[in-house]
Amino acid sequence: MAYITQQIRRIINTSVETQSIQPLSTPEVHLLHGHATTTSLNIAAVFEKSHKNVLQSINNMDIPEEFNRLNFQPVEYKDLKGEMRPMYEITRDGFALLAMGFTGPKAMAWKINYIALFNAMEQQLENQRKDEIILRDARIYRLQDENSSLKSILMDQLRKDRRKGTRLTPEEAVEIRTLFSRGYTKAEISRRTGRSTQSINKALNAAVAVH
């Protein structure tokens, strides 16, 4: 974001120099509650207007209350004397409406530069939202995998618990003898079948007795 801002400011300064304009300030756009905003104080400095007049322009705009609430947030700032003064945090839409009354070549150049900053900031926001969605989905998939693994472990344990205390079936006895003949230890067979070492010994001893 710092690189984008530097590039935009380079364009701003180039545009300003071309028109022999010496700016008192440069456009500034920042994040506030997840929205790209600028301030009435910055607008006043950039457009070389009295902040008092900018505030008056905002207060005199005949706009719906809901639009005003969403796009012109009254706040305060500390002036050079350390006193608190009124100011507005202004969204892109609020700026567009306010800047309609600013005319002249100089004003047009600054409007374009503000829009470029708003576009860059909103693109950054969009990229952040995409990253957040990717991270959220990754967490969801990980939790699903963990839950699936936990469910598998619990079901396996449940099957083992149900087998405890029951007689070996012929199929289980064959499975135990097959695993043992393939080199599995009794402990490994116990973990795979859920049968105790005692049951495994019985199955193996029974096979020896038959032979």
Q: How many domains does the chain have?
A: 2
**Residue 143 belongs to some domain of the structure:** no
**Residue 197 belongs to some domain of the structure:** yes
Say which residues have a Cβ less than 8 Å from residue 44's Cβ, sequence separation at least 6.
50, 51, 53, 54
Q: What residues make up the domain containing 204?
A: 165-210
Our measurement of the distance from residue 124's CA atom to the centroid of its chain's CA atoms, rounded to an integer in Å, reads 11
Cα(108)–Cα(104) distance, rounded to whole angstroms? 6
Cα(90)–Cα(37) distance, rounded to whole angstroms? 5
User: pLDDT per position in the chain (211 positions), as tens?
Assistant: 554 555 545 544 444 333 333 444 688 898 888 889 999 999 999 999 999 999 999 999 999 999 999 999 999 999 899 999 999 999 999 999 999 888 888 888 888 889 889 988 888 888 888 888 888 878 887 777 777 776 676 666 666 655 566 677 888 888 888 988 888 898 888 888 878 788 888 888 876 655 5
* 9 shares a domain with 97: yes
The dihedral region occupied by 40, where left means phi > 0, alpha psi between -120 and 50, and beta the remainder, is: alpha
* 170 shares a domain with 112: no
CATH assignment at residue 194: 1.10.10
